[in-house]
Structure formats: structure tokens, C-alpha cells
A and B are shown apart, each in its own frame.
Chain A
């Protein structure tokens, strides 16, 4: 197994861990961190798979740099929104507002939320 494949396999693992985190965790900060883990996994796969024959390929490196910029911007936006949410409601999760709840509860919440 070449070094590139080890990176790629680690990347897959990180991506799945991150995805699970975004979908299953409750606390917003943890979900934002999990999203970053997901991104890092994808970057590792991008760089790792592309250097299978031993020589690094510059194109995916440039892509990962761009991807990091995008991820930083997304994280900043998510943190700003999370802070605002915390300031307005004092809560650190949006789980009860919807996405981890049952469908029925979600609908009840849709109705309630827009009314506020």
C-alpha cells in the first residue's frame, strides 16, 4: 500500500466521521467542527489519490488551497450565525427546532417558528 493510498483511506475515514458528526451531533459548535473534519477528509483524498505514482501533482494542491478558503468562509459564517442564535435564544443547538426531531414535531415547529 503506497503512502498516497494511506492518505486517501484516512481521508475517507475522516469524511465519514465528519458526516456522521454533522448529521448526528446536537451542539452547533461540534457540528461546525465536524463539517471541517469532513472537508479535511475530502482534501486528503484529493491530494492522496492524485499522487499514487509517487510524484506530487500540483493541480489538486491548488484545488485544496481554494477549498480551504471556501471552508474558512463557510466556518466563519456558521460561527457568526451560531453566536447570533446563542445571543437571541441562549441555546447552543437547533436540534429541537427541527432536524433531529421526528417529522411530526418538525412540522409543528415549522408552524410555530415562522409565527414568532
Chain B
């Protein structure tokens, strides 16, 4: 394929291009540019899917420059799944945001979304540690901008706290990269794997610890979750959905990549290390669910549910040695949760916008006037609880299978109790929604929202359930990944 038509490069160039145009057009044509741009990106991913399915892994040297000066882009099954999830969710959210912000778009919402997508796509495609640092910062800065887009004091405080957390995280990551370059003279992820296996000085252990901890801070795994609920719960609904569904997955993806690739030798030398993320993940599931059960604002409930669901992603680390099962479980959970959490935030946004109250109690009576949004919320809840046939069910099934195969029954207990706790906070909302509102009958019913607001949420939620039925090609893609 000629370099100019390579979908790998266009996946990064397209969002940069439309984001810049949207910035220059001062948001007038933002929605159209975004929809056209993300549509194009989705086509690029589909074009890429065929190549990856037949070749396993494909690369591209940006501008034809050789390494180490040039930048090498790589795509394999793992990055393809994340790219597909990102463009799919972003396209639906762009449709939602267009109608959600029909009166007034927060300043720079569309350009920032474009830059965020460019950073995420570049992150999924980068093959060297330094370039990954730059993409991490791009994603972080754009996400902080989006959190602040609301403009209120609460949002600014949440954005500042998020910014400081994300800067500390990427600072630690950069320090690790410096130590690694100092030790080996390269930052190529594929070369480092064998280099670290043959010799790992103390500096590399320090680098590994710093980089992985920095990424945990950015993924908001307990005890680093403090910044997430105010940032995700306080932002406008489309932003919350983008952040909770996609952005935290980006740093998780990088954590997983580093764990499987360059730092595989470290976890082999000290197998007990893998229990650390799993133990933190288990605590996150219990603590996040508990906070979601106790939350009194609807979006905080959904945000704490993210803290809990992120925990599942880290349960897979002690099980990775048992074959492809654990990796499939983790990526399927990331995909199903991405779709479900976007649906949940978007449905919650509609419930709050129409109902006029951001409290959990405010959903009372929603079953009567917002049936589609509520159904979307419930369907997304089905995935979070892990009921069949949803994607969440299949992910938990694979996880439990892998845990039994590896002889780690405690993971089974945590996974199942996490599902029960999710049931409690989802049914807490549903039970209220079917209640009669406390107001009197002479209060006029709230206006019906635009159909697009309700049906985008429904499409995302339905996707999170259907992925459980059609997961076979996705699982085959992940099984073919060579770390």
C-alpha cells in the first residue's frame, strides 16, 4: 500500500485535521466536522481490520524515516480492538453530543474531542516508549480540557486535581523511560522485551515500578482513584461518557502492553508481583461498588461504578500465564464496560437534563416519560452485573474460567460478589424510576427529549449486550496477539 493511503497514519492525522478545522471554525461546524471525521476514522479501522486479521501485525514508519529517529506505528489484534471500540463509541457519542449541546456547546468541546481521539489512536498504535509518553500527555491534557469545559468552580477544581494527578503519573512514566534509555540505549518496546530478559539491572526494576505506578495513577485504580469521581461525575454528560468509557482504558491498555512486553521478565522473576494489581483491583471492586450504592447523585453513582469496574481489568494479571483466556477476559471486559458505561452516562445525562435534578432520587417516575433512556440504563446495568447474554457476562465467565484453571479461587469470589453489588446500585436506580414522582399531579410532565438523545444511549447499551453474542471474531483477534 502506498504510504499516503496507509490507514495507520490517517487514524492519527484525520482527528488532528478535523479538530484543527473545528477550532478554526469556532465551533460553528463542529458537529458536522466531527461526525465526518470520526466516520472516516471508523472506515480506516475497518480497512485495517482486514490486514491485521490476515497478517497478525502490521507496521508503518511515519514519513519513511527509519528508527530510532523515525516513529514506528504498529497495529495488532489488541490495538485493533481498542481502536474499534474508540471510534465506535466516539461516533455514537458525537451524535449524542450534537443534540445534547443543541443550545450552547461548551467552548472548544469539538476540537478537544478531536485532539483526544488523535492522542488515543496514536497511543494504541505507538511502538516505542517515548512516543507513548507523548501520546499519554496528549490524551491527558485534552481530557483535562474537556473536564474544565463546564466552566463552573467545581469543574475547574476537578480539572486541576485531575491535571496534577495525570502530570505526576506521566512524570513518573517519563522518569522510567529515561532510566530505560540510560540502561539499554533504546526505547523500542519490541526490542526491550528480549534485552530486559537477558539482563535487568536495578535501574530497570525502578523504571518498571515508576512507569507502572504512574499508569495506575492515570487509570484511577484504587488507591489512586481520588481524582476520578469528581472529574467524571462533574463534567457534562458526553464528556463523562468519553472519559469513563475510553480515556481510562487507554492507560490500562498501556499498562497491559508494558506488562506483557518489556516488563514480562520482571513479573516472571517475581511472580508474586502480579498479585499487587489484582489485590488493588479486588479492593476497587468492593469499595467502588459500596460508594456507588451510597452515592446520592446519579452521575456520582455511575462514576463510582467506573472505579469498581476498572478493578475487574486488573484481576487478570495473576492469570496471564495460563494462556489467552485471561487476556481475552480483560479486553472483553474493557470493551463491554466501555460500551455500557458510555450508555449509562449518556442515559443519566438525559434523565438529569429532562428531570431537572441530578440526585438519584430525581429519577423517580422516569419509567413513565423516559422509557427508552431508562431501558438503556437497565441494559447497560445488565452488562455491569454480568448477566447472560451480555458482554460483561462472557468476560466474567472467561475470567472465572481462567481463575479456576490457575488455581486462584479468591478471584472467582470477588468477581461474583462484584456482580451482586453492581446489581444493588443498578436496581436502586430502577426501583426509584418505577415509583410515582413525589410532586403533585398538576405539575406538567417534562418535555420529551430529542429522539437522538434516547436512541444513542440505547444503541450503546444494546451494543454492550450484543457483543456477548458476537464475541467470537473479537476473541480470535486477541488470541492471535504475540506479546
Contacts and interface: CB of A to CB of B under 8 A. Distances in A.
Interface of A: 8, 11, 15, 18-19, 22-23, 28, 31, 35, 38-39, 41-43, 45-46, 48-50, 52, 57, 59-60, 62-63, 66-67, 70, 73-74, 77-78, 81-82, 84-85, 88-89, 94, 97-99, 106, 110-111, 113-116
B72 to A, nearest CB: 14
Interface string B162-182: 011001100110110111011
Contacts of A110: 229-230, 233, 300
B152 A46 contact: no
Contacts of B234: 113-114
A43 B181 CA distance: 12
Contacts of A66: 130, 134
B171 A98 contact: no
Contacts of B134: 66, 70
B50 interface: no
A110 B178 CA distance: 36
Given A41-B175, A70-B137, A114-B300, 12 more contacts: A15-B175, A19-B168, A22-B171, A42-B171, A43-B178, A49-B181, A70-B133, A74-B137, A98-B161, A113-B157, A113-B158, A115-B358
A88 B154 CA distance: 10
Contact of B167 (A22, A99, A113): A22
A46 B153 contact: no
10 contacts: A60-B178, A70-B137, A77-B163, A84-B148, A85-B156, A88-B156, A94-B160, A97-B157, A110-B229, A113-B158
Contacts of A41: 175
Contacts of A98: 157, 161, 226, 230
A77 B143 CA distance: 11
Contact of B153 (A48, A59, A88): A88
Contacts of B179: 45, 49
Nearest to A11: B178
B163 A99 contact: no
B171 A38 contact: yes
Contacts of A57: 185
A39 B174 CA distance: 8
Given A85-B156, A88-B153, A50 B161 contact: no
A49 B174 CA distance: 14
A19 B182 CA distance: 21
Contacts of A70: 133-134, 137
Given A60-B181, A113-B230, A116-B152, A99 B168 contact: no
A16 B120 CA distance: 29
Given A50-B185, A85-B153, A35 B158 contact: no
A107 B377 CA distance: 25
B220 interface: no
B174 A42 contact: yes
A1 B153 CA distance: 51
A98 to B, nearest CB: 6
B160 A81 contact: yes
A22 B168 contact: yes
Contacts of B178: 11, 42-43, 45-46, 49, 60
B154 to A, nearest CB: 5
A46 B177 contact: yes
Nearest to B175: A42
Contacts of A82: 160
Top 9 closest pairs, chain A to chain B, by CB: A49-B182, A46-B178, A45-B178, A88-B153, A42-B175, A113-B154, A42-B174, A38-B171, A70-B137
Contact of A85 (B141, B157, B299): B157
A116 B164 contact: no
Contacts of A63: 130, 181
A106 to B, nearest CB: 7
A31 B357 CA distance: 36
Given A50-B185, A85-B153, A85-B156, A23 B168 contact: yes
B175 A99 contact: no
Contacts of A94: 157, 160-161
Given A50-B182, A98-B230, A114-B300, A85 B160 contact: yes
A111 B360 CA distance: 13
B336 interface: no
A90 B172 CA distance: 31
A18 B246 CA distance: 30
A77 B148 CA distance: 10
Contact of B182 (A39, A46, A62): A46
B141 A67 contact: no
A73 B141 contact: yes
Residue from A22, A45, A98, A114 with most neighbouring chain B CB atoms (10 Å): A114
A89 B154 contact: no
A94 B160 CA distance: 8
Contacts of B369: none
Contacts of A23: 168
Contacts of A115: 297, 358
Contacts of A45: 175, 178-179, 182
A84 to B, nearest CB: 5
Given A74-B137, A81-B159, A116 B145 contact: no
Contacts of B1: none
B268 interface: no
A40 B156 CA distance: 26
B163 A78 contact: yes
Interface string B205-245: 00000000000000000000011011001100000000000
